[in-house]
């Protein structure tokens, strides 16, 4: 039994005593009833029971070892006086303790009742119990135990006096009784009858026993047989498996002793017949030996345990058995943590699940099942669960106070970093020493029963009315379980890029240990002044000035340079503890006597920690020779990239747990990588009670989570995290709406697009009809009825601004949710001859242009044309030309300039002539220069060009504009990435071939793609090299995406509200964006799009009032909008 192994010397005596008392203990009545004590001690403050001081215990044990419990009550005080004269009662000492003269009446009463024990006497005096003793004692059994809330521990003035010795601790104590079934293993008459006392014993596994089927299943598992015998020792039968499963554990782990009374047995007992028993449970004294939390992990003795340790298993068995027991005997805690009581259900569930798992493993019976639990335990978290968790854990309050870093810190902190500094300093300084002790949240308080199951009075023991159970560890104690010290550190889990390192360094500067402060004040270091621990048993020396930083090897240099940068000259001594320069005696460098010379920061790697740990482990934990990391108790330890220890079973994790430090911090951007267990390891490292207990963690978090109670599990995780974690993300905004880290600027420009004549024709046609429909309906007052029709027409109008061919594609109607597809038919688009004619005109124009685009030019001519383009445009003086256009007479200018000029001339009835040679110009004899940026002429190191007849790729004015922007961009920034948003996926489809022709690499992301494909596209976009364009549908790309690798955004068409567009733009312009973002919004001049911008503008102002509008009002507003759009 592991829990015994670490006890103080008295343990052995206790066991000896235990055995000695064996024969007497079988009968609870053997405890001689004592009638004067109950009410006396009931009133005793709980605080007096708290001890844990080994000396006290020693006294107690020595004494009890020499006494038989049965004699305790009647033992005259005299005998005790020999043994422990220091605490025996005499008047003078008593008065000295009490600090007052006490009347002789009182003294005599106390003397009579204190059993010669001074502490008891003092206690009785102060708590006033002696007064009651003057009255004849009432029946103790009638007095109900008081809820311990009234007994909440108060530090009484006499707290320095040692608590009362437990001379009266019983060897075992009755807990309760419960009914159980057993089955007979023998047959006979009158073997057992009602009221017979039956002994309960553990059955040692026997080969003959494994006969029945049920037995065989059992046999595979640990043997759990419990048999019952007559008082003479003859075996009658065995307990049902269900019961024996947990009863056996309690017996095996020396927690309880059971005896039983037969309730019913058939007169003629046959094998396999059922016998009804009433089991009485007695807690053994040994159950209350303190085991302490940490032993459960058994870390120092077996550092490289890979699977659930034997201890963990024992613990699990013990804890579930304990819970079952309390359930069976129906004992309710008088004080329990709310959360804890809930958790008890969880405990049983945990047990069930384990059992199930085990069974499944057995069924499979494959050797591969022996994979370490660390592999299979803990389901992976789904992304959304993780998100939910983070969201809960990161409810960062922007009003938290800030702290200014120390003068020695050479950098300036942002506001949120100062807040973190304040938080971290508060965490480190929170000793909580002044707080009143409160009960540990995991423990439950129980009151010993005062009557047994047959309503007989039970013996009562002074000052021992209560006991405490920790249902998670299965620990029992008689001592008040005090909430232990809080963790003096935490988890800084800010997202990457928010400056975790800097914040940590500011903490190192701003919170130095007392010793370090003194040393820096006086400038001398007197060894004698220092609280020197000396070479204690483990050989660990204090390093009160040193912060140990453990980081992945690749980050060591960064830590070193950052910490130098962050410190004013000469204010920090930084030591790199790594590689060849590694100091071979870190201990002498940092330990106490060397304060003035000790490094403030020691930076090392996980690898070093692991190798030193392994070296110690290889010598069975002998540290005497060791002068490295494990020979020191640091002021602070920081784990950077702490997810390195996410696997609690890994050696590195265990090594890190073993580092000793006053303050412990972990830094990680991903506290949970994919399992909740990842977090456990961090908590374990921090030593946060009680969550560093794996069994507890399992019960509250893993098990509920695995059984599908995600919300509950995550809630618990949140309560764990809340006090421990500081996490801010890049997306967070201050209450005033500013991002934590300011973003580079963005510039949004509207690019006005001029529709080509044919496009204009299509547009005007649709516009006229839409306007007609609207005004007709407006007159007839049927706007609401025709709402969808009007809306559909508006949609067509907007589409025609993008590309006339979109109008033809009737599927597009379904793209916009507001539009009823049925409205499509209502608009009567299909049988509209005019529109068709216009559209075909457009098609012809495009086709004609593309006809003989393959016309070949002489290489020389091409070269000249190319050189020309480097010069300035003769018309607008732009240099170089925008979209060089070559006339039939081979003169170049910007495309726009030539076209503007030609239109100008045509408009005034002139034949356009070449601006250079006055040759008449023909629109069909204009050629665009296509630069193949990826195809460089090796001779001139300039891109090859080719000529393409104008209009060949003129699919629509917008696409042409887009293309010219992209071309110009590619020339200026050959590595730039751009994002193109459109609300019409079919428009994206029309853009694609144009990009292909222009030799521009593109990717596409829209709603129709599977999650996996999307992720692949996003990855490629983020990681790929070179000029890349990402086509995204506004709806697929509006939310969540991170496209910060792009620097340019093209909005192909406006949306009703700019907010939607802004959100899309923010995919690029968000945290992580490093340079200015340029946004181009393409809007067709003199069209519904332009008016949409006006509506957007207006909506910006009324946006706040929109929330208060009724639906009807909103509709009215919409109609106003439409009116404006069709004006």
Partner 1 sequence: MALPKRIIKETERLMAEPVPGISAIPHEDNLRYFDVEIHGPASSPYEGGIFKLELFLPEDYPMTAPKIRFLTKIFHPNVDKLGRICLDVLKNNWSPALQIRTILLSIQALLGAPNPDDPLADDVAKHWKADEQAAIEKAREWTRTYAQPQPQPAS
Residues near partner 1, by CB under 8 A: 874-878, 897, 900-901, 904, 913-916, 918
Q: Residue 254 or 903: which CB sits closer to partner 1?
A: 903
DSSP annotation of 699 reads I
Q: Residue 231 or 916: which CB sits closer to partner 1?
A: 916
Give me the least distance between CB of 890 and partner 1, in Å please. Answer: 14
Determine the Cα–Cα distance for residues 44 and 114; give it in Å rounded to an integer: 13
Give me the least distance between CB of 931 and partner 1, in Å please. Answer: 22
CB atoms within 10 A of CB 508: 24
DSSP annotation of 308 reads S
Give me the least distance between CB of 921 and partner 1, in Å please. Answer: 11
CB atoms within 10 A of CB 54: 12
Which token pair is 314? 């024992």
E strand or H helix at 641: none
Give me the least distance between CB of 851 and partner 1, in Å please. Answer: 29
Which token pair is 864? 């000249």
E strand or H helix at 746: strand 746-753
Contacts 24+ apart (CB under 8 A), 415-421: 415/734, 416/498, 416/728, 416/734, 416/740, 417/498, 417/499, 417/502, 417/503, 417/506, 420/492, 420/494, 420/503, 420/726, 420/728, 421/503, 421/506, 421/507, 421/510
DSSP helix/strand/coil, 969: helix
Give me the least distance between CB of 849 and partner 1, in Å please. Answer: 24
Tokens 């802004």: give the residue. 1062
CB atoms within 10 A of CB 1097: 10
Number of residues that this document lists for the chain: 1127
Cis omega before residue 690 (within 30°)? yes
Give me the least distance between CB of 900 and partner 1, in Å please. Answer: 7
Give me the least distance between CB of 1025 and partner 1, in Å please. Answer: 35
Determine the Cα–Cα distance for residues 783 and 399; give it in Å rounded to an integer: 51
Q: Residue 250 or 898: which CB sits closer to partner 1?
A: 898
Q: Residue 845 or 876: which CB sits closer to partner 1?
A: 876
Give me the least distance between CB of 871 and partner 1, in Å please. Answer: 12
Residues 965 and 1050: beta-carbon distance below 8 Å: yes
The strand pairing partners of 941, in sequence order, are: none
Give me the least distance between CB of 918 and partner 1, in Å please. Answer: 7
E strand or H helix at 469: strand 466-470
Q: Residue 234 or 904: which CB sits closer to partner 1?
A: 904
Which token pair is 423? 């938080």
Q: Residue 795 or 894: which CB sits closer to partner 1?
A: 894
Determine the Cα–Cα distance for residues 863 and 480; give it in Å rounded to an integer: 94
Residues 34 and 73: beta-carbon distance below 8 Å: yes
Cis omega before residue 880 (within 30°)? yes
Give me the least distance between CB of 957 and partner 1, in Å please. Answer: 20
Closest CA to 89 of 61, 67, 111: 111
Q: Residue 210 or 914: which CB sits closer to partner 1?
A: 914
Cα–Cα distances in Å, from 297 out to 304, 314, 462, 653, 684?
A: 11, 11, 35, 13, 10
Cα–Cα distances in Å, from 253 out to 171, 474, 654?
A: 16, 11, 27
Q: Find the distance separating the first CA and the last CA of the chain, reported in whole Å.
A: 89
Tokens 């058995």: give the residue. 321
Determine the Cα–Cα distance for residues 995 and 999; give it in Å rounded to an integer: 6
Give me the least distance between CB of 916 and partner 1, in Å please. Answer: 6
Q: Residue 410 or 875: which CB sits closer to partner 1?
A: 875
CB atoms within 10 A of CB 1108: 7
The angle that helices 556-565 and 500-510 make with each other, rounded to 10 degrees, is: 50
Which token pair is 248? 């056996």
E strand or H helix at 799: helix 787-802
Give me the least distance between CB of 874 and partner 1, in Å please. Answer: 4
Q: Residue 877 or 1101: which CB sits closer to partner 1?
A: 877
Give me the least distance between CB of 910 and partner 1, in Å please. Answer: 8
Q: Residue 860 or 908: which CB sits closer to partner 1?
A: 908
Give me the least distance between CB of 833 and partner 1, in Å please. Answer: 38
Q: Residue 127 or 878: which CB sits closer to partner 1?
A: 878
Give me the least distance between CB of 896 and partner 1, in Å please. Answer: 12
Give me the least distance between CB of 603 and partner 1, in Å please. Answer: 57
Helices assigned H by DSSP within 161-223: 213-220
Q: Residue 299 or 923: which CB sits closer to partner 1?
A: 923
Q: Residue 135 or 918: which CB sits closer to partner 1?
A: 918
Tokens 């020695």: give the residue. 408
Determine the Cα–Cα distance for residues 824 and 833; give it in Å rounded to an integer: 16
| CA 486 centroid distance within chain | 20
Tokens 């506004």: give the residue. 1034
Residues 956 and 994: beta-carbon distance below 8 Å: no
Q: Residue 329 or 876: which CB sits closer to partner 1?
A: 876
Q: Residue 784 or 915: which CB sits closer to partner 1?
A: 915
Which token pair is 580? 């060849």
Q: Residue 619 or 904: which CB sits closer to partner 1?
A: 904
Q: Residue 184 or 894: which CB sits closer to partner 1?
A: 894
Q: Residue 878 or 933: which CB sits closer to partner 1?
A: 878
Give me the least distance between CB of 878 and partner 1, in Å please. Answer: 7
The strand pairing partners of 180, in sequence order, are: 277
Burial of 334: CB neighbours in 10 Å, binned 0-12, 13-18, 19+:
middle
Give me the least distance between CB of 872 and partner 1, in Å please. Answer: 8
């Amino acid at each position: 039994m592991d829990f015994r192994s670490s006890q103080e010397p008295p343990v052995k005596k206790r066991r000896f005593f235990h055995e000695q008392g064996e024969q007497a203990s079988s009968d609870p009545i053997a405890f001689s009833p004592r009638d004067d004590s109950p009410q006396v001690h009931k009133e005793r403050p709980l605080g007096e029971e708290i001890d844990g001081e080994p000396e006290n215990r020693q006294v107690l044990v020595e004494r009890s070892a020499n006494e038989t419990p049965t004699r305790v009550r009647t033992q005259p005080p005299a005998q005790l006086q020999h043994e422990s004269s220091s605490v025996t009662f005499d008047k003078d000492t008593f008065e000295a303790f009490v600090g007052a003269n006490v009347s002789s009446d009182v003294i005599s009463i106390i003397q009579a009742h204190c059993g010669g024990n001074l502490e008891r006497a003092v206690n009785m005096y102060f708590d006033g119990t002696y007064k009651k003793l003057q009255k004849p004692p009432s029946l103790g059994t009638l007095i109900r135990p008081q809820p311990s809330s009234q007994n909440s521990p108060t530090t009484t003035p006499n707290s320095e006096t040692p608590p009362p010795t437990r001379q009266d601790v019983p060897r075992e104590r009755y807990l309760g009784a419960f009914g159980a079934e057993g089955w007979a293993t023998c047959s006979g008459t009158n073997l057992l009858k009602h009221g017979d006392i039956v002994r309960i014993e553990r059955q040692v596994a026997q080969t003959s026993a494994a006969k029945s089927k049920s037995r065989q299943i059992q046999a595979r598992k640990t043997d759990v047989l419990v048999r019952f015998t007559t008082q003479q020792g003859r075996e009658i039968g065995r307990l049902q498996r269900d019961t024996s499963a947990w009863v056996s554990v309690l017996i095996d782990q020396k927690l309880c002793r059971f005896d039983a009374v037969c309730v019913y047995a058939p007169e003629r007992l046959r094998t396999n017949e059922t016998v009804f028993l009433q089991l009485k449970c007695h807690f053994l004294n040994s159950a209350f030996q303190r085991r302490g939390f940490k032993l459960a992990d058994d870390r120092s003795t077996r550092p490289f345990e890979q699977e659930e340790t034997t201890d963990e298993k024992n613990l699990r068995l013990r804890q579930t058995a304990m819970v079952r027991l309390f359930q069976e005997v129906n004992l309710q805690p008088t004080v329990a943590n709310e959360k804890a009581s809930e958790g008890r259900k969880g405990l049983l569930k945990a047990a069930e699940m384990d059992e199930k798992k085990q069974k499944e493993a057995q069924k499979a019976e494959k050797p591969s099942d022996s994979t370490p639990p660390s592999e299979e335990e803990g389901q992976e978290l789904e992304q959304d669960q993780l998100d939910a968790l983070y969201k809960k854990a990161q409810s960062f309050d922007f009003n938290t106070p800030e702290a200014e870093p120390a003068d020695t810190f050479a950098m300036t902190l942002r506001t949120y970093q100062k807040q973190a500094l304040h938080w971290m300093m508060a965490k480190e300084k929170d000793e909580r020493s002044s707080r009143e002790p409160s009960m540990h949240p995991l423990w439950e308080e129980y009151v010993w029963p005062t009557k047994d199951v047959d309503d007989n009075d039970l013996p009562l023991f002074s000052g021992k009315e209560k006991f405490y159970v920790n249902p998670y560890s299965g620990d029992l104690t008689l001592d008040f379980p005090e909430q232990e010290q809080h963790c003096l550190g935490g988890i800084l889990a800010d997202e990457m890029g928010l400056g975790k390192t800097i914040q940590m360094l500011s903490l190192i500067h701003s919170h130095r240990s007392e010793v370090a402060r003194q040393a820096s004040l006086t400038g001398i270091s007197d060894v004698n002044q220092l609280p020197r621990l000396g070479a204690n048993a483990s050989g660990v020396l204090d390093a009160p000035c040193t912060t140990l930083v453990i980081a992945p090897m690749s980050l060591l240099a960064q830590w070193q340079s950052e910490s130098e940068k962050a410190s004013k000259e000469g204010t920090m001594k930084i030591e790199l503890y790594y590689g060849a320069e590694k100091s071979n005696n870190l201990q002498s460098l940092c330990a106490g006597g060397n304060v003035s010379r000790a490094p403030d920061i020691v930076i090392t790697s996980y690898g070093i920690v692991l190798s030193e740990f392994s070296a110690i482990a290889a010598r069975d934990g002998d540290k005497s020779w060791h002068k490295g990391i494990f020979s020191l108790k640091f002021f602070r330890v920081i784990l950077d990239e702490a997810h390195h220890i996410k696997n609690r079973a890994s050696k590195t994790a265990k090594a890190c747990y073993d580092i000793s430090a006053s303050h412990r911090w972990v830094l990680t951007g991903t506290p949970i990588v994919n399992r909740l267990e990842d977090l456990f390891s961090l908590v374990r490292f921090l030593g946060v009670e009680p969550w560093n207990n794996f069994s507890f963690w399992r019960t509250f978090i893993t098990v509920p989570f695995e059984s599908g109670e995600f919300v509950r599990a995550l809630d618990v995780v949140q309560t764990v995290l809340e006090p421990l974690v500081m996490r801010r993300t890049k997306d967070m905004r201050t209450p005033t709406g500013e991002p934590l880290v300011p973003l580079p600027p963005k510039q949004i420009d509207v690019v006005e697009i001029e529709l080509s004549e044919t496009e204009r024709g299509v547009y005007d046609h649709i516009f006229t009809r839409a306007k007609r429909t609207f005004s007709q309906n407006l007159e007839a007052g049927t706007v609401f009825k025709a709402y969808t029709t009007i809306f559909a027409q508006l949609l067509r109008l907007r589409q025609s601004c993008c590309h006339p061919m979109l109008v033809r594609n009737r599927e597009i109607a379904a793209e916009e949710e507001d539009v009823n597809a049925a409205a499509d038919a209502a608009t009567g688009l299909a049988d509209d001859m005019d529109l068709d004619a216009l559209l075909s005109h457009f098609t012809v124009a495009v086709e004609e242009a593309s006809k003989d685009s393959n016309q070949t030019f002489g290489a020389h001519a091409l070269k000249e044309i190319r050189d020309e383009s480097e010069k300035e445009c003769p018309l607008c003086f732009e240099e170089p030309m925008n979209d060089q256009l070559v006339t039939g007479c081979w003169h170049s200018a910007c495309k726009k300039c030539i076209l503007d000029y030609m239109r100008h001339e045509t408009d005034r009835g002139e034949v356009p002539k070449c601006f250079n040679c006055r040759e008449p110009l023909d629109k069909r004899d204009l050629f665009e220069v296509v630069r193949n940026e990826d195809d460089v002429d090796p001779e001139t190191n300039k891109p090859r060009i080719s000529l393409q007849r104008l209009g060949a790729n003129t699919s629509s004015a917008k696409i042409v504009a887009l293309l010219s922007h992209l071309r110009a961009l590619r020339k200026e920034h050959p590595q730039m990435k751009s994002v193109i948003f459109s609300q019409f996926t079919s428009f994206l489809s029309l853009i694609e071939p144009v990009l292909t022709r222009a030799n521009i690499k593109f990717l596409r992301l829209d709603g129709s793609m599977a999650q996996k494909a999307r992720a692949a596209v996003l990855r490629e976009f983020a990681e790929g090299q070179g000029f890349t364009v990402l086509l995204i549908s506004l709806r697929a790309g509006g939310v969540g995406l991170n496209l910060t690798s792009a620097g340019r955004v093209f909005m192909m068409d406006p949306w009703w509200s700019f907010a939607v567009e802004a959100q899309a733009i923010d995919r690029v312009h968000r945290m992580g964006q490093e340079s200015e973002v340029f946004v181009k919004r393409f809007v067709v001049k003199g069209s519904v799009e332009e008016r949409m911008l006006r509506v957007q503008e207006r909506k910006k102002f009324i946006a706040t009032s929109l929330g208060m509008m009724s639906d009807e009002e909103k509709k009215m507003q919409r109609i106003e909008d439409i009116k404006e759009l069709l004006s």
